[in-house]
Structure 1
Amino acid sequence: MYKNLTEYIRALEQAGELIRIPVPVDPVLEIAELTDRQAKQPGGGKALLFEHTGTGFPVLTNLMGSERRICMALGVERLSEVGERIESLFSDALRPKAGWMEKLRMLPLLGEVAQWMPRNVSRKGECQQVVLKGEAADLSKLPVLKCWPHDGGRFVTLPLVHTVDPETGVRNVGMYRMQVFDPRTTGMHWHRHKTGERHYQEYRKRGERMPVSVCLGGDPVYTYCATAPLPDGMDEYLLAGFLRRRPVELVECLTNDLRVPADCDFVIEGYVDPSEPKAVEGDFGDHTGFYSLKDLYPQFHVTCITHRRDAVWPATLVGIPPMEDAWIQLATERIFLAPIRLAVAPEVVDLWMPPAGVAHNLAVCVIEKSYAGQAFKAAHALWGAGQMSFNKFLVMLSAEDAVGVSGEGYREVIRERLHRFDPTRDTLFSRGVLDVLDHSSPQLGFGGKLCLDLTRKLEEEGGERPRREEIPVEVVWDDFVESAGLEFEDLVWLAAGNTDPGRDVSVTSAGVLRLDARFKPSEVERGWPNVVTMSPDVIERVDVRWSEYGFSGEPLPSPSRRYQSLVRSGSAKL
């Protein structure tokens, strides 16, 4: 795999997957606008390396924003390779052993697993070549991006946040955005459902400061693993070792007792004091395509910054899909399908989370169906499993209708099956946890869920319904949405984002499933967020500078122009 981010950049360039921007570009909004234009190109465009950011550090964006680049980051030719390795490993480990000889044959496999375990080393790491303490540990010297006009400030968007459980000592590496408040303080965006928040509460109970170290860069597989939906208590660096086929070497931090990968580009050491008041964090243009609004979160205090001499600052941009996170989500689908089958729902054949569903709003599940009610059984199982518990809309298909189909191909299967859909019998309404970033639910992090059973119906379920000409689904839009000329994927994104199944979805007396996808600022006490778009002056600036950046031809159109008619106010909140 890669020794550092610079080596990955070199590989991207050799593969024709990188564009260098050799002129000064402002980390405030300008980098984001260029990244958005590139990320929304067919297939995810190219990675961008901004060589002059006014800080002495280059910035790399869209680094995993295509199927080829996420495969390169994970060291595979195709994403399914990782899932196949996991499935083979589990199958070999769980298969009943006939006798002692067969059990002995498992020893090499156990040895291979041991080789993936992270290893502590006593030397200093490459990440500690430059050490900044005291006043020199200044976040304002780093090229932290401001991504969208109404963001509350600059945000670290690809941090690997290291914490440990104070009771067990088990490490967690999560990705939680960090708003820079001042040169030595940031917010720590720990949602109530996340492991970092659980560790924070444990330290609060003990009345102790919580050591926290934040890494950026290094082998890009670390960045992926920090996003992976691992069970609480499983070390992300074990997954990284499995993907790299070699262990992660960890060095001790300089101002706390945490350990971090030796080959990262940056390490920001510090602490969170659970006894001090939380700070107002946000607004932030989020991966939902809407702003996540201001709320209270813990404060992270910087005690030391270290970095490589040739450090590169990695950053990601989120907003209206598709973005880089859609390709990271694709990797997660392929990698974690095997564990879902083995541990959660063995009937699952495939799982697809379309980019328009922003990971948690919409998922399509294909099952091998053999008995009545199995689609709803699988839905309940998935809604109780890890990050799938945040899912809001779940569509179930039969494997026989999806032979040879994957990804976007499921759209046509769904469209055809909706002609046989009976909303009065083929819907399952439920309630449960939702992602805190879901803005449609009346209660924060809790709301409605809906499963559409589009599987083939068995005799016990009333049998297959005759195909009818009209699809029994109706979506109600605001007038300004109907006149916006949006594409199908945009409408799916808006409908899934603006709809709470418990409040906004019903089956009419005529047997039609009706979704109220309008903006509803009066329905949510915390406020309804605005759609994320770039400011006109930044769009114009990028258009004017296009050839200066080194691009030829006409400027790529700004994606924000297409969505400006959806913006309902001059702030993050309607």
Structure 2
Amino acid sequence: MAFPDIQSFMRLLEERGELLRVSAPVSRDLEITEVADRLVKKGGPAVLFENVKGSDFPLVIGMLGTRERVALSLGVQDLDDLAAKVNHLIDLKGAGGMRGMLGNVGKLRDAMNLPPRRVGSAPVQEVVWRGDEVDLGKIPVLKCWPLDGGPFVTLPLVITKDPETGEKNMGMYRMQVMSKNTTGMHWQRHKTGTKHLEKAKARGERLEVAVAIGGDPALIYAATAPLPPIPGLNEFALAGYLRGERYPVVKGVTVDLEVPANAEFILEGYVDPHEDWVMEGPFGDHTGFYTLPDLYPLFHVTAVTMRKNPVYPATIVGRPPMEDAFLIEASERLFLPAAQLILPEIMDYHMPPAGVAHNLVVVSIKKTYPGQAYKVANGLFGLGQMMFAKVIVVVDEDVKVNDMGAVWRMITQRAQPGRDTLTTRGPIDVLDHSSRGWGYGGKLIIDATTKRPEEIGSGVSSRDEQADDVAVELFEPHAAADLPGFEGVLDQRQTPDGYWIVTLNKTRAGQARDLAEAFAAHPAAAGIRHLLICDELTDAGNIQDVWWTILNNIDAERDVWHVGDLLAWDGARKLPEEGFVREWPPKIVMDQGVVDRVDALWHVWGLPERWR
């Protein structure tokens, strides 16, 4: 199903009771974030704010805030259907004579929907601001979190063209509004936009840029998808395939770039590669922590085009789960067949919200020989953006990868610390604040598959283990005060499946290691396989908060180690005395004053009490 534009999708959501309208005034400064954060975490509806203070344009948020709405937006009954759709396309028949070739006709017709379709005029060019008319302050760009450096465009589709090859690219890179006609351009070192900018600099040219805001859901999703570097395969092509028809594009009014004809707004302009970069941030990012200020290129807006009655679509990122978790799940389903082509033993994989995409990947395999778990994990590290994965857990095919309770149990039952864990190094997401270097750090593979005879006794642990699952002892909780040498422990919780969770106020170097050594030697360690050390702001009773903190705060090679049969994870903040030279960022927390104000205005906005 192809939606003509974002507004048609909004109308369908409203018909289904999945979109609410708020006509009372609302501030774009933090208030909308607080509402949207509550709704997405409770599976609530999208919201159209019709009266945003300081702007004549309405704002919609949360359109893709559930798994079901993402599936609806992409024209499938369920996100699992995306894998079947891709399998249908790539499983071309080459045998069987004429009959076999004729079986490909329908698939080739689907593939013909890939190239975009140029149109002569477009709704997005009904109104044009040029030169001094450009004023980004008139658009209801959100300030999302209290420590943000300013308002950020959070759902931009940034379009560039390779100066040498003409290959097009679209990506979603946050854009901090710096003035009425400039923004930051958050192009990280590995992004295609950065490569285009470097080529433009070598040629002594400016790089033309167009930023679409809106379009339709398929294009918004496509801008987030980790496409492989195949010539001719770009985000417009993916959106065309998902829509089942070629994507309509129109030439920009001031730039030589094709832009989506059905967008709500287009920002046209350039980045000058010879210009000094500007300080951008902080920004409350998808990791749930603030990305600290850094230097990035400046985007100059020379024209803004729009519909006569546009709607500004936005999203927020922050502590999971957020709207981006469902876009990540769509990518999981869409690219599963491609991963299986390269690693056919893969049965399924999942990137849970607590891992904020790259921090944790769970993969199930059909295991037929020893060492296969490591073969698959290392293969995944070499696949596109999977190179940024920090922890990969491999389980047997009988384990549901999205049942994290079952996954954690399999880790304690089938993965012996030291023998079935392996650390390595590689590229890390540049937004990762805990890695040893910018974009470089440690990785961890956990083999939680059933062991074959050749794999038993091959590790460093002295403990004997049978090929069958290991029985994990149950035990009574011990109060932290009863355990000697546990300096700085504020809270603790033990689970019957082998995890001991502590929150630690770390005040000196080596404190976490001392804790692990003391605990491993204590009777309370009986039955424990993993010691999870969290920072003092973690809720020890909330396993999602625990794993989100741990996975964000570790460099796997530096901060995960085994002490006998115990695997210790140091997810507390890192100190300068421990050799950590970068500034440690704060976790995202909304101002209490904003929380109280939203509570007071909830009924004024007409929002249902059950979502409050």
Q: Is the 8 A contact 1:420 1:468 kept in 2?
A: no
User: Does residue 606 of structure 2 align to residue 550 of structure 1?
Assistant: yes
| 1:515 has 2:512 as partner | no
Preserved contact between residue 357 and residue 493 of structure 1 (Cα < 8 Å): yes
Match of 2:81, SS?
helix
State whether residues 414 and 454 of structure 1, in contact with CA within 8 Å, keep that contact through their aligned partners in structure 2: no
Deviations 1:456-510 (A, max 9, x none): 11122124464342241112234x246x4541101010000011111111111x2
Match of 1:225 among 222, 231, 241: 222
TM-score (norm 1): 0.92
Aligned to 1:506: 561
Higher relative CO (CA 8 A, sep ≥ 6), structure 1 or 2?
1
Instruction: Label 1:105 to 1:466 Cα distance change in 2 as closer, same or farther (>3 A).
Output: closer
Deviation string 1:103-157 (CA, Å, 9 cap, x unpaired) is: 3543443233123321122x12110010110111111110000000110010000
In 2, Cα distance between equivalents of 1:383 and 1:458: 24
Q: Within 5 A, what are the aligned runs for 1:227-306?
A: 227-232=224-229, 233=231, 234-306=233-305
C-alpha deviation, 1:239, in angstroms = 0.7
Q: 2: CA distance between counterparts of 1:86 and 1:471? A: 43
Match of 1:315 in 2: 314
- Equivalent of residue 473 in structure 1, options 530, 533, 537: 530
Equivalent pair of 1:420/1:467 in contact (CA under 8 Å): no
Distance in 1, matches of 2:242 and 2:104, equals 20
Change (3 A) 1:231 1:143: same
Following the alignment from structure 2 to structure 1, what is the Cα–Cα distance between the partners of residues 157 and 68? 23
Residue by residue over 1:9-55, the C-alpha shift from the partner in whole angstroms, topping out at 9 and shown as x without a partner, is 100001111111111111111111111111111xx211111111131
Q: CA deviation at 1:406?
A: 4.9
Q: Unaligned stretches of 5+ in structure 2?
A: 457-466, 474-526
Match of 1:562 in 2: none
Q: What is the match of residue 494 of structure 1?
A: 549
8 Å contact from structure 1 (residues 133, 304) kept in 2:
yes
Tell me the CA shift for residue 253 of structure 1: 0.1
- 5+ long unaligned stretches in structure 1: 557-574
Question: Structure 2: how far apart are the matches of 1:162 and 1:231?
Answer: 17
Deviations 1:222-243 (A, max 9, x none): 1100000101342111110110
CA contact (8 A) 1:375 1:455 kept: yes
Structure 1 partner of 2:140: 143
State the distance in 1 between where 2:610 and 2:349 align. Answer: 39
Find the residue that maps to 1:196 and give its secondary structure.
helix
- The answer as to whether partners of 2:266 and 2:306 remain within 8 angstroms in 1 is yes
CA distance in 2, matches of 1:431, 1:286: 24
Q: Distance in 1 between matches of 2:103 and 2:562?
A: 57
User: How far apart, CA to CA, are the structure 1 residues paired with 2:611 and 2:63?
Assistant: 21
Identity level (%): 45
Distance in 2, matches of 1:451 and 1:471, equals 20
Q: State whether structure 2 residue 177 is matched by structure 1 residue 180.
A: yes
Which AA in structure 1 matches 2:376? A
SS of the residue 2:239 aligns to? helix
Q: CA deviation at 1:411?
A: 2.1
Cα distance, 1:217 vs. partner? 0.8
Q: Name the CA distance, whole Å, in 2 between partners of 1:554 and 1:195.
A: 43
Q: Greater CA deviation, 73-82 or 353-362? A: 73-82
1: CA distance, partners of 2:562 / 2:74? 45
Tell me if structure 1 keeps the 8 A contact 2:66–2:326. Answer: yes
Contact kept, 8 Å, 1:419 with 1:471, in 2: the verdict is: no
Query: C-alpha distance in 1, partners of 2:609/2:281?
Result: 37
Distance in 2, Cα, partners of 1:268 & 1:146: 19
User: What SS class does the counterpart of residue 263 from structure 2 fall into?
Assistant: coil
CA distance in 1: counterparts of 2:271 and 2:361, whole angstroms: 36
State how many pairs are aligned: 543
Q: Which residue of 2 aligns with 1:452?
A: 446
Given residue 390 of structure 2, which amino acid in structure 1 is its aligned partner? Answer: K
Matched with 2:206 is 209
- Tell me, in whole angstroms, the C-alpha distance in 1 between the residues paired with 2:113 and 2:384: 27
Residues 239 and 415 of structure 1, relative CA distance in 2, 3 Å threshold: same
CA contact (8 A) 1:152 1:281 kept: yes
Letter in 2 for 1:3: P
Range moving further from structure 2, 513-522 or 5-14:
513-522
Aligned equivalent of 2:408: 414
Work out the CA distance in 1 between the residues paired with 2:454 and 2:107: 45
1:24 partner SS: coil
Residue 554 of structure 1, CA deviation:
7.8
Asked if structure 1 preserves the Cα contact closer than 8 Å seen for 2:332 and 2:349, the reply is yes
1:326 to partner: Cα distance = 0.8
| Conserved 8 A contact 1:392-1:448 | yes
The residue that corresponds to 1:429 in the other structure is 423
Partner SS, residue 329 of structure 2: helix
Alpha-carbon distance in 2 for matches of 1:108, 1:364: 34
State the one-letter code of the partner of 2:365: I
Shift of 1:346: 1.3
Q: How many angstroms does 1:289 deviate by?
A: 0.5
Q: Distance in 1 between matches of 2:528 and 2:107?
A: 52
- 2:270 & 2:284 partners in 1: Cα distance? 26
Contact 1:158 1:177 in 2 (8 A): yes
Q: Which amino acid aligns with 2:198?
A: Q
- Indicate yes or no: 2:107 matched with 1:109: yes
Q: Distance in 1 between matches of 2:472 and 2:34?
A: 45
Which residue identity lines up with residue 216 of structure 2 in the other structure? D
1:63 is aligned to 63
Distance change (3 Å), C-alpha of 1:62 and 1:17:
same
Please say if 1:371 is aligned against 2:369: yes
For 1:39 and 1:238, locate their aligned partners in 2 and report how far apart those are by CA, in whole Å: 30
Tell me the amino acid that sits aligned with residue 259 of structure 1.
Answer: E
Root-mean-square deviation (CA, aligned residues, Å) is 1.6
- Secondary structure in 1 matching 2:451: coil
Task: Report what 1:13 is aligned to.
Answer: 14
Are residues 1:75 and 2:75 paired?
A: yes
| Change in CA separation of 1:58 and 1:486 when aligned onto 2, cut-off 3 Å | farther
